[in-house]
């Protein structure tokens, strides 16, 4: 097949190229058009009109503004990038001969906090902050215009992955890994939270199946089968580093008072950061597994994280 991937030179895009390029012809759209193994050619966004003569079977929309964990980005920038680029490429899809459109949203478009024990696709979306809100707005544009199109020849897949990790990953996991590598103790051992993660290997496996099989259109949560606590995460990091894990089980109430004080004195640990580091965020992947006809993902959460941390060590 001919597959067009936007944001092709990013973290997920690069991994998808490695997965798909052996069996398909991969084209890209990005803000840079650097030559790369596995890609026929990469176009700039301004060249969208020039590629109408190429017949694409599948369009994968990855390009977007990622979540700024430092909260330094202008909220308007999220909507400008995440919504307007989606409108541009989805309108192109509707008039093209492409049969499948895969949109990478985020689990944050569904909920910033998991109220029930497990987050499913049936939840009424209630994102908090411009990142999740802009991704939800993009989802709504796709669904609304897909329903208007009413074509049996076109299928759409809105993917809501949890935190994605793997080769080339950048973000909070890298920062935590750097802290643990320096031997700094983890003081929040008393909080035994559970979180869902997404191995990029499992993600690529899912996309490969969406490309090649007849899967029903819809919204799908994406995550590994097992949940991981932050304490488990640190243990896995230390095992990769061949170091002893320093996890301090300081009473929760003491750490909560420290966080309150940190909010006033602008310490690294404040109330908001404590909540994010210790809350549960468990997501169900039952719907996508049922659609694919599988009982479990190919890579376990622990195996995927070990692979990720080994790539961190090679880069540092």
**Got the DSSP string for 276-316?**
HHH--B-B--HHHHHHHT-SS-SS-HHHHHHHHHHHHHHH-
Band of residue 68 on the pLDDT scale cut at 50, 70, 90? low
pLDDT per residue over 177-196, tens digit each? 888 999 899 999 999 899 99
pLDDT band at 144 (very low <50, low <70, confident <90, very high): very high
Range with the poorest average pLDDT among 34-48, 201-215, 245-259: 34-48
Query: What is the average pLDDT across 22-26?
Result: 96
How far apart, in whole angstroms, are the C-alpha atoms of residue 244 and residue 120? 37
**Residue 69 has what pLDDT?**
55
Average predicted confidence (pLDDT) for the chain: 91
> Rounded distance, CA 230 to CA 161, Å?
19
Q: Structure pTM?
A: 0.92
- State the pairing for strand pair 227-228/218-222: unpaired
Lowest mean pLDDT among 75-79, 198-202, 273-277: 273-277
Q: Could you name the CATH architecture of 2-161?
A: 3-Layer(aba) Sandwich (3.40)
Tokens for 201, please give them: 């290997």
- Residue 123, pLDDT > 90, answer yes
Q: Does residue 159 have a pLDDT over 70? A: yes
Q: Is 170 helix (H, G, I), strand (E, B) or coil?
A: coil
pLDDT at 47 over 80: yes
Confidence of residue 48 (pLDDT cuts 50, 70, 90): confident
pLDDT of residue 147: 87
Residue of 269 and 99 predicted with greater confidence = 99
Q: Please name which of 32, 15, 30 lies closest in space to residue 63, comparing C-alpha atoms.
A: 30
Q: What is the pLDDT of residue 46?
A: 87
Average of per-residue pLDDT across 21-50: 90
Domain extents for the chain? 2-161
pLDDT of residue 174: 85
Among left, alpha and beta (phi > 0; psi -120 to 50; other), residue 253 is alpha
Instruction: Give the model's pLDDT for residue 18.
Output: 95
Res 298: pLDDT: 97
19 Cβ neighbours under 8 A, 6+ residues apart = 204, 205, 207, 208
73: pLDDT strictly greater than 80: no
CA distances 171 to 36, 105, 187, 242, 277, Å, are 24, 17, 21, 22, 14
Which residues make beta-bridge pairs with 43?
A: 29
% of the chain at pLDDT higher than 90 = 72
């Amino acid at each position: 097949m001919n597959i067009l991937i936007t944001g092709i030179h990013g973290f997920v895009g690069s991994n998808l190229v490695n997965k798909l390029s052996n069996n398909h012809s991969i084209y890209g759209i990005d803000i840079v058009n650097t030559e790369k193994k596995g890609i026929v050619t990469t176009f700039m966004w301004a060249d969208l009109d020039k590629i109408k003569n190429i017949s694409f079977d599948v369009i994968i929309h990855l390009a977007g503004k990622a979540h700024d964990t430092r909260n330094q980005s202008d909220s308007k920038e999220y909507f400008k990038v995440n919504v307007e680029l989606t409108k541009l490429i989805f309108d192109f899809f509707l008039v093209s001969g492409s049969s499948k459109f895969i949109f990478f949203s985020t689990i944050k478009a569904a909920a910033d906090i998991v109220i029930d024990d497990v987050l499913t696709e049936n939840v009424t979306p209630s994102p908090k902050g411009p990142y999740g809100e802009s991704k939800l707005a993009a989802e709504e544009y796709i669904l609304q215009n897909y329903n208007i199109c009413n074509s049996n020849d076109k299928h759409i897949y809105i993917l809501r992955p949890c935190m994605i990790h793997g080769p080339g990953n950048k973000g909070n996991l890298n920062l935590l890994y750097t802290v643990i590598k320096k031997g700094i103790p983890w003081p929040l051992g008393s909080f035994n939270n559970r979180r869902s993660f997404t191995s990029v290997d499992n993600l690529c496996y899912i996309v490969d199946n969406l490309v090649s099989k007849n899967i029903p259109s819809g919204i799908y949560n994406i995550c590994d089968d097992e949940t991981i606590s932050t304490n488990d995460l640190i243990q896995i990091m230390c095992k990769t580093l061949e170091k002893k894990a320093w996890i301090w089980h300081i009473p929760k109430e003491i750490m909560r008072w420290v966080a309150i004080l940190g909010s006033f004195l602008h310490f690294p640990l404040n109330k908001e950061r404590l909540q994010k580091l210790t809350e549960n965020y468990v997501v169900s992947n039952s719907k996508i597994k049922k659609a694919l006809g599988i009982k479990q993902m190919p890579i376990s959460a622990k195996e995927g994280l070990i692979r990720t941390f080994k790539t961190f060590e090679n880069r540092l």
